[in-house]
Amino acid sequence: MSLTWMAVITFVILHMSVFATTIYLQRSITHRGLQLHPIVAVLMHLELLLFTGIIPRQWAAVHRKHHHHSDEAGDPHSPRVLGMWTVLFGNYFLYKKQANNPATVRKYTPDYRPDVIEPPTNVYPKLQHPCRTRHFHADVWLGVGSNGMGRADGCVRIAELVHQQLVPHDRIPEF
Ligand SMILES: [Zn+2]
């Protein structure tokens, strides 16, 4: 796989994840301002499952908490409260801390309804946390043979890293 193809694949994966985040996670799941066709919603959920490992209910809980406490104590990722550098470089850990807090998830998403690709909650998190599991699925999905596996995995990881830093604290404009 050439460098050009790696860049193209990374760019496409990153942008699919960005669209799934802003349309599905933010507009539809979190703010309920948009009702997607169930097939579109499932496809976006699948994209996020394969390429980011994000669990929609966790993301919605963290984002609702952010809106509840915007730039005041309790905001999970406020540069004003926590400092710009902490949020800029530690956003992944700030997000994980809140996403893995069952109290936060329960409090902010009592209305969440799992879809057809979401296994029971006692199984789903175990699929997420060995990071390789989802990357392996992504590689298989890309149809990559053993020679290209490492490079395709690199594309997925780069796209995921950029997505993790950009998305959870609203660097992507709400439109
Ligand atoms: Zn929002």
Q: How far apart are CA 51 and CA 17, in angstroms?
A: 7
Q: What is the pLDDT of residues 41-98, one digit of tens each?
A: 999 999 998 888 888 999 999 999 999 999 999 999 999 999 999 998 888 889 989 9
The pair of three-digit structure tokens given for residue 141, joined into one six-digit string: 């999905």
Q: What is the pLDDT of residues 93-136, one digit of tens each?
A: 899 899 999 999 999 999 998 888 876 554 445 444 434 344 44
How many angstroms is it from 26 CA to the middle of ligand 1?
6
pLDDT of residue 165: 61
Q: What is the pLDDT of residues 9-37, one digit of tens each?
A: 889 999 999 999 999 999 999 999 999 99
For 77-111, b/e burial (b = at least 16 CB within 10 A) is bbeebbeeeebeeebeebbeebbebeebbeebbee
SS3 147: helix
How many angstroms is it from 30 CA to the middle of ligand 1?
7
How many angstroms is it from 108 CA to the middle of ligand 1?
13
